[in-house]
């Protein structure tokens, strides 16, 4: 099917879709201390709401990817947005933390369609050098939005509190709905496949048995875990260092810029396997600085320096992992995209739950070390 969408509209639409899920996931992070006070509960219980949303994002992608291969890209996005609006309104009205956590899981499921279908639309509309460029751009927006969302949310929380953050998320959904309705289908009927458990199982098995797909996919999972652990712990760590919500937001914004710049620059490199290995080393250096700060010199400037170095490496790692994984799964783009997203967000959810078992300052350094070591080991297994 020829792409009937205006080029500029399509690129803007893909950018918005790829940023949507990250904003839903963590735009409220600067408000976590306020939420703990509002619901009269512990910081660990509030952090579970983040893990619930991440799990929802993971399993939602597992469904939306194959469904989009079967019925097209447009319908799943429109339906998921309508459901998202209802669930977000429920989050605002939730009377207790248990219902809030449940609704956050549902919010993650309904927001997951955009991020997984974005990668499939790219594969529908682009090829060759343009395909790599667009995967680099989409991956950059997705990861940068993951880090930038708390920066934006921090300013909203200062002005209107945590409910103001969720009303903003509701309005984003309202504005996205007309764009989704205007979007013209890109997945031709003759290219659609029948979704059944047996066929889906064979597709997933073939992808997971491919070293070219599995290694970058697992690296992406470690990348998302590092980002999500950092985002969920930073508000509490920086607060204990005597910094305000504004300092938290500014630090997260600076990290987002670092990630976006290196991701875009690395997308111009032809040898993405080389980028994969080099970026893992940079991430490990940043983790070492973070551990030294949290364990021996708990001062903000040293901690943020380590986080900044880590994000410089994560930006390159993001471009390399998404490009390599989706290139190897080109015959089943929806399923490949869903597996990539599931493994990334599920690993992040598990890491967040592990982090919530102890004080963030005590658990974060060792989680970072474990994730960095696994990432280094995986990149050594990648084909040269």
- The DSSP line for 72-95 is -SHHHHHHHHHHHHHHHHHHHH--
- Report the alpha-carbon distance of residue 152 to residue 21 in Å, rounded: 14
The percentage of the chain sitting over the pLDDT mark of 90, rounded to a whole number, equals 24
- Confidence category of residue 105, pLDDT binned at 50, 70, 90: very high
pLDDT by residue (tens digit) across 133-168? Answer: 777 677 677 767 777 787 788 888 888 888 999 999
pLDDT at 145: 78
- Confidence category of residue 382, pLDDT binned at 50, 70, 90: low
- Confidence category of residue 282, pLDDT binned at 50, 70, 90: very high
pLDDT at 92: 93
Both tokens of 308, joined, read 């900044």
- Report the alpha-carbon distance of residue 161 to residue 155 in Å, rounded: 9
Residue 203's Cβ-side half-sphere holds a number of Cα atoms within 13 Å equal to 23
pLDDT by residue (tens digit) across 312-361? Answer: 999 889 888 888 887 776 666 667 877 888 888 788 878 877 877 766 66
Q: What is the mean pLDDT of the chain?
A: 83
pLDDT at 84: 93
What is the average per-residue pLDDT within 86-112?
93
| pLDDT above 70: residue 198 | yes
Higher pLDDT, 285 or 124: 285
pLDDT at 359: 67
- Report the alpha-carbon distance of residue 212 to residue 232 in Å, rounded: 31
pLDDT at 2: 47
Higher pLDDT, 330 or 15: 15
- Report the alpha-carbon distance of residue 88 to residue 299 in Å, rounded: 37
| pLDDT above 80: residue 270 | no
Q: Quick check: 304 and 321 in contact, CB under 8 A?
A: no
Spell out the domain ranges in the chain: 7-381
Nearest partner of 223 among 257, 263, 261, 254, judged by Cα = 263
- Confidence category of residue 90, pLDDT binned at 50, 70, 90: very high
The SS3 assignment for 242 reads: coil
- Report the alpha-carbon distance of residue 275 to residue 278 in Å, rounded: 5
Q: Quick check: 258 and 308 in contact, CB under 8 A?
A: yes
Tokens 């029948």 sit at which residue? 194
Higher pLDDT, 256 or 56: 56
Collect all residues with Cβ–Cβ distance below 8 Å to 90 and sequence separation of at least 6: 99, 103, 106
pLDDT at 289: 95
What is the average per-residue pLDDT within 105-129?
82
pLDDT at 1: 46
Collect all residues with Cβ–Cβ distance below 8 Å to 256 and sequence separation of at least 6: 144, 145, 147, 148, 151, 311
**CATH match for 7-381 among 3.10.25.10, 1.20.1250.20, 2.50.20.10, 3.30.70.270:** 1.20.1250.20
pLDDT by residue (tens digit) across 230-255? Answer: 887 887 788 788 877 677 777 877 88
pLDDT at 187: 74
- Report the alpha-carbon distance of residue 381 to residue 289 in Å, rounded: 26
pLDDT at 362: 75
For residue 84, what are the CA distances in angstroms to 26, 63, 65, 87, 171?
15, 16, 17, 5, 11
Query: pTM for this structure?
Result: 0.77
In SS3 terms, 176-188 reads as HHHHHHHCCCCCC
- Report the alpha-carbon distance of residue 161 to residue 96 in Å, rounded: 17
Planar angle of CA 202, 203, 207, nearest 5 degrees? 115
The percentage of the chain sitting over the pLDDT mark of 70, rounded to a whole number, equals 93
pLDDT at 126: 77
Q: Determine which of 89-98, 106-115, 300-309 has the lowest per-residue pLDDT on average.
A: 106-115
């Amino acid at each position: 099917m020829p792409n009937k969408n205006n080029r500029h509209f399509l690129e803007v639409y893909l950018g918005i879709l790829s940023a949507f899920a990250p904003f839903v996931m963590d735009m409220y992070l600067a408000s976590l201390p306020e939420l703990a006070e509002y619901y009269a509960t512990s910081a660990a219980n509030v952090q579970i709401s983040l893990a619930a949303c991440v799990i929802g994002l993971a399993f939602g992608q597992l469904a939306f990817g194959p469904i989009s291969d079967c019925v097209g890209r447009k319908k799943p996005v429109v339906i998921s947005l309508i459901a998202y609006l209802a669930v977000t309104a429920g989050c605002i009205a939730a009377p207790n933390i248990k219902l809030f956590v449940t609704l956050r899981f549902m919010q993650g499921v309904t927001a997951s369609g955009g991020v997984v279908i974005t990668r499939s639309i790219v594969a529908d509309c682009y090829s060759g050098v343009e395909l790599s460029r667009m995967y680099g751009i989409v991956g950059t927006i997705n990861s940068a939005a993951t880090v930038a969302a708390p920066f934006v949310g921090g300013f909203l929380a200062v002005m209107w509190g945590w409910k103001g953050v969720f009303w903003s998320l509701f309005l984003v959904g309202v504005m996205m709905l007309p764009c989704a309705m205007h979007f013209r289908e890109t997945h031709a009927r003759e290219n659609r496949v029948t979704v059944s458990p047996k066929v889906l199982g064979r597709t997933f098995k073939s992808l997971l048995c491919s070293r070219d797909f599995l290694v970058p996919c697992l690296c992406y999972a470690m990348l998302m875990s590092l980002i999500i652990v950092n985002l969920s712990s930073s508000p509490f760590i920086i607060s204990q260092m005597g910094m305000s919500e504004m300092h938290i937001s500014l630090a997260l914004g600076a990290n987002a810029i670092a990630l976006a710049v290196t991701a875009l620059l690395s997308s111009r490199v032809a040898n993405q396997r080389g980028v994969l290995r080099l970026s893992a080393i940079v991430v490990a250096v940043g983790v070492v600085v973070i551990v030294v700060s949290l364990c021996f010199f708990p001062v903000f400037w040293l901690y943020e320096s380590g986080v900044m170095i880590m994000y410089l490496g994560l930006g390159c790692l993001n471009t390399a992992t998404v490009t390599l994984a989706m290139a190897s799964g080109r015959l089943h783009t929806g399923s490949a995209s869903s597996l990539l997203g599931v493994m990334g967000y599920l690993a992040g959810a598990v890491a967040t739950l592990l982090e919530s078992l102890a004080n963030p300052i005590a658990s974060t350094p060792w989680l970072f070390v474990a994730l960095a070591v696994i990432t280094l080991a995986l990149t050594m297994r990648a084909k040269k």
